[in-house]
Amino acid sequence: MEPIGQARNAPWDASWRDFASWRGWQRLLAAAHAALLAERGRWILWLPVFFALGISLYFAAGQEPALWIGPGLSLAALSLLWRCRGAAGARLMVLALTMVCIGFATAQLRSAWVEAPRLEGSWGPAQLTGEVLELETRPSGRRLLLRPLAMAGLAAENLPARIRVTAVTTDDGLSPGDLVTLRARLRPPSAPTMPGSFDFARQAYFQQLGGIGFALGPVRSVDADPALEPHRAGSLRQRWSLFWADARQRIAARIQSHLPGQSGAVAAALVTGQRSALAEETRENMRAAGLAHLLAISGLHMGLVTGLLFFAVRAGLALIPGLALRRPIKKWAAVAAGLGGLLYLCLVGFTIPAQRAFIMVSIVLLAVLLDRRAISLRLVAWAALAVLVVAPESLVSASFQMSFAAVVALVSVYEGWERSPASLEMRRRLAGRLALYVLGIALTSLVAILATSAFAAFHFQRLAAFGLLANLVAVPLTAFVIMPAAVIGMLLMPFGLEALGFVPMGWGIEALLFIAAWVAGLPAALAPVPPMPLWGLVCVTLGGLWLCLWRGSWRVWGLPLAIAGALSPALFQPPDLLVSGDGRLAALRDGERRLWVADRRGNRFVMDSWQRGSYAREVIRWPGAGQAAEGALHCDPLGCLYRREGTLLAISWDPRGLGADCAVADVVVSLEPLRRQACGGPQVVIDRFDLWREGAQAFWLDGGNLRRTTVLETQGLRPWSALKDRQRSER
């Protein structure tokens, strides 16, 4: 009998002809079983994966499942797991099933827990009174997060838990916890701009954000009203949040008083997590240079802050001989670094990357206290599980996916690299250690870019072509100049000497912005890519996990799956017609990758989303009258006709032209309401009411075979969907 330990390097020598027979499949299954047993120490790494699978199933559901389903299935799976405790193989499969059920239940219970009232339609212009929860300064004004206490026409029980308002003018000295009054126009959080695009309504639901809009006029602070006092922040958690929101605002103001312009905006983002003051040009340059991750509080920032505190405290204690020789100063330094990391987490506002980074740093410091190995994939697994338990909705966010993809890939690569003979040899000499550091930065950037590229293609449809080049300079600059200066500035702030740290920090940021602008100016720095389908992202994720979580030779099985997913954008078929959910915007895509847009009121956000989502190279306003798109598009003041692959499509925005359109077109899309019996000729008739019920829509004209997808189909009848309420109102 072959020893189990040898299965990790099983030869897999069965020929393809053998695999066509039953005996070949038996050999394959036996080899897989042996490899699985050989890696039993890595099984625990898959628990968060199955937990995440359960969360994914919850979010993939077309309608909200009954509240008992998740907990009920979890209890049943736990009971089955107890009964299978004697059979190892069965127990392993049931454990995986149990984690799936618990993940599903966790997401379901979290969704029920955060449910709060939200606006069902447009509100205002009207007067409202609210409590300031957060206040961010932007280039064009201020953005306020408010807890509404009184809104005209809404009863107290129907008030949203939170609203977000952008204001041009506010009272000086306004801070979190203040009571304000303003006249505003609000609307519910936006639905996806096209089927399958980013769902802001879902994100807002889990943030308990029930409305967004603009202040019409100044925002004024008012004295406390006794009638509203019972509704203001009173719990310990609420007062704690207000304290740190106020601290963020004050620290950002102190930083920007020493560093004006975009240097101060970047410094405030790195220290407090507030990125609202960043100009759009700065954001775009950082994205194009592949440096946007430096603006998000993540493992790099948390690691640098806690690492600097750890070594500073340990070095200071080492100067005292009595302590250095008799006390565990290394563990004392770990405790001090952990407390500093916790304060930094509170300051930046518990964002998902910051939570993940703090959990991982905490486990590393705990390993120091227990004299155990710190960095490992088990650490990453426990951090992922902790984040998903607290906020299961983070699984579907780009932030969670990209940060954990990068960390899993990096830890997996370095687990093998640190044991390699080449690495051990280079560490023996000073020149080798310097070369190892430079190589480490290049390898880190390369691995992180490869690990996150698929997620960037899926969420943003853009890739930074020269990210490796920019990171080779920007990461050491951040690690050795910017963040150490930031820590010094924060430590000196209570004494009024923060300029000694923040001014050198500004020098480093100026160099960082120069690098970003230079790289962003290179040809094709931010390359557009076709959208990746969901099945492609799933293949990349599963293939990457298979490559990273196993150690044996069978890990290469994940490579074909990951490559297949990475190539999936090549199969992308762009929609021929897009129509917005409010009926105000329609766009046609021609064979030259041009997007012809009929925009009656203008919406840059929707057009940008459509351009990326349809992989169009440019957006062109179609003519009010005349021909365009090589004669395929014919417009007059009443509407347009578009012919593609034998199908005639009519877009009408004036009912007077519907008679002629219905007589000749195969598909009629009316941006105004119409009577169906008056338009019975076309295969498909879509009007303003359909858009109101089903949301934005996409059409494909495949040689006369019309295909249509709606936001209702992709978003589902979920608690965060306004379409759910509209479907119910029609019944």
Closest C-alpha to 486, from 313, 329, 339, 347: 347
What's the token pair of residue 635?
Answer: 């417009």
Per the prediction, the chain carries an average pLDDT of 84
Q: Residue 686: CB partners within 8 Å, gap ≥ 6?
A: 579, 667, 668, 669, 670, 697, 708
Judged by average pLDDT, the poorest of 22-36, 44-58, 678-692, 705-719 is 22-36
Q: How far apart are CA 15 and CA 106, in angstroms?
A: 45
427 within domain boundaries: no
Residues 207-226: pLDDT tens digits? 999 999 999 988 998 887 66
pLDDT of residue 3: 40
Domain boundary among 114, 144, 179: 114
Q: How confident is the model at residue 5 (pLDDT cuts 50, 70, 90)?
A: very low
CA distances from 253 to 267, 317, 623, 645, 651 (A): 11, 34, 48, 59, 51
pLDDT of residue 1: 35
Closest C-alpha to 708, from 584, 576, 587, 582: 576
Domain boundary among 202, 223, 244: 223
424 within domain boundaries: no
Judged by average pLDDT, the poorest of 33-37, 67-71, 200-204, 216-220 is 33-37
- Has residue 653 got a pLDDT over 70? yes
Amino acid at 608: D
Query: Is the same domain home to 147 and 288?
Result: no
pLDDT of residue 8: 42
Query: Is the same domain home to 196 and 306?
Result: no
CA distances from 197 to 186, 190, 576, 585, 698 (A): 23, 12, 16, 16, 11
Q: How far apart are CA 111 and CA 393, in angstroms?
A: 8
Q: What is the mean pLDDT of residues 562-576?
A: 93
pLDDT of residue 13: 46
pLDDT of residue 228: 64
pLDDT of residue 126: 93
Check: CB of residue 619 under 8 Å from CB of residue 607: yes
Query: Is the same domain home to 366 and 509?
Result: yes
Edge-to-edge order in the sheet of strand 705-710: 618-621, 594-599, 585-589, 577-579, 697-702, 705-710
Euclidean distance between the first and the last CA atom of the chain, given in angstroms as a whole number: 68
Query: Is the same domain home to 311 and 350?
Result: yes
Query: Is the same domain home to 179 and 96?
Result: no
pLDDT of residue 259: 93
Check: CB of residue 104 under 8 Å from CB of residue 63: no
- Has residue 729 got a pLDDT over 60? no
Q: In this predicted model, which residue has the larger pLDDT, 549 or 170?
A: 549
Query: Is the same domain home to 189 and 289?
Result: no
Q: In this predicted model, which residue has the larger pLDDT, 731 or 227?
A: 227
pLDDT of residue 725: 67
pLDDT of residue 229: 62
SS3 per residue for 29-49: HHHHHHHHHHCHHHHHHHHHH
User: How many of the other CB atoms lie within 10 Å of CB of 194?
Assistant: 27
Judged by average pLDDT, the poorest of 89-98, 157-166, 381-390, 441-450 is 441-450
549 within domain boundaries: yes
Query: Is the same domain home to 654 and 708?
Result: yes
Domain that holds residue 481: 254-391+465-527
Q: How far apart are CA 149 and CA 161, in angstroms?
A: 9
Diameter of the chain measured on Cα atoms: 96
403 within domain boundaries: no
pLDDT of residue 65: 93
Burial of 642 (0-12, 13-18, 19+ CB in 10 A): buried
Residues 358-386: pLDDT tens digits? 887 888 888 888 777 666 888 889 888 98
CA distances from 708 to 684, 698, 705, 712 (A): 10, 6, 10, 12
Query: Is the same domain home to 39 and 131?
Result: no
pLDDT of residue 421: 61
Residues 294-352: pLDDT tens digits? 887 776 778 888 888 888 898 888 888 877 778 888 888 989 999 998 998 888 887 77
Query: Is the same domain home to 211 and 334?
Result: no
- Has residue 679 got a pLDDT over 70? yes
434 within domain boundaries: no
Q: What long-range pairs does 531-534 form, CB within 8 A, spacing at least 24? A: 531/457, 531/458, 531/461, 531/569, 531/572, 531/612, 531/613, 531/615, 532/454, 532/457, 532/458, 532/565, 532/568, 532/569, 532/572, 533/568, 533/569, 533/571, 533/572, 534/196, 534/458
Q: In this predicted model, which residue has the larger pLDDT, 106 or 679?
A: 106
Q: What percent of the chain has pLDDT over 70?
A: 88
Closest C-alpha to 413, from 438, 444, 367: 444
Judged by average pLDDT, the poorest of 80-94, 317-331, 398-412, 442-456 is 80-94
Q: Residue 94: CB partners within 8 Å, gap ≥ 6?
A: 77, 80, 81, 84
Query: Is the same domain home to 473 and 358?
Result: yes
Burial of 109 (0-12, 13-18, 19+ CB in 10 A): middle
Check: CB of residue 379 under 8 Å from CB of residue 364: yes
- Has residue 107 got a pLDDT over 70? yes
Judged by average pLDDT, the poorest of 179-188, 414-423, 456-465, 467-476 is 414-423
- Has residue 14 got a pLDDT over 70? no
- Taking CA 212 as the corner, what is the angle to CA 211 and CA 217, rounded to the nearest 5 degrees? 120
408 within domain boundaries: no
Query: Is the same domain home to 53 and 137?
Result: no
Sign of CA dihedral 195, 200, 201, 205: positive
Query: Is the same domain home to 714 and 679?
Result: yes
The domain spanning residue 138 has which CATH number? Answer: 2.40.50
Q: How confident is the model at residue 731 (pLDDT cuts 50, 70, 90)?
A: low
User: How many of the other CB atoms lie within 10 Å of CB of 723?
Assistant: 21
pLDDT of residue 9: 43
Q: Residue 419: CB partners within 8 Å, gap ≥ 6?
A: none
Residues 413-460: pLDDT tens digits? 887 766 666 555 555 665 656 666 667 777 787 888 889 899 999 999
Q: How confident is the model at residue 7 (pLDDT cuts 50, 70, 90)?
A: very low
User: How many of the other CB atoms lie within 10 Å of CB of 578?
Assistant: 26
Q: What is the mean pLDDT of residues 11-20?
A: 48
pLDDT of residue 16: 46
pLDDT of residue 86: 64
Amino acid at 634: H
311 within domain boundaries: yes
pLDDT of residue 688: 85
Q: How far apart are CA 269 and CA 354, in angstroms?
A: 13
Judged by average pLDDT, the poorest of 244-248, 439-443, 499-503, 540-544 is 439-443
Give me the half-sphere count of Cα atoms (radius 13 Å) on the Cβ side of residue 199.
26
- Has residue 674 got a pLDDT over 60? yes
pLDDT of residue 436: 66
Q: What percent of the chain has pLDDT over 90?
A: 34
pLDDT of residue 591: 83
- Has residue 353 got a pLDDT over 80? no
Closest C-alpha to 99, from 36, 59, 45, 61: 45
Domain boundary among 55, 84, 114: 114
Check: CB of residue 269 under 8 Å from CB of residue 295: yes
622 within domain boundaries: yes
Q: Of 41-55, 275-289, 678-692, which one has max mean pLDDT? A: 41-55
Domain count, the chain: 5
Give me the half-sphere count of Cα atoms (radius 13 Å) on the Cβ side of residue 216.
10
pLDDT of residue 10: 45
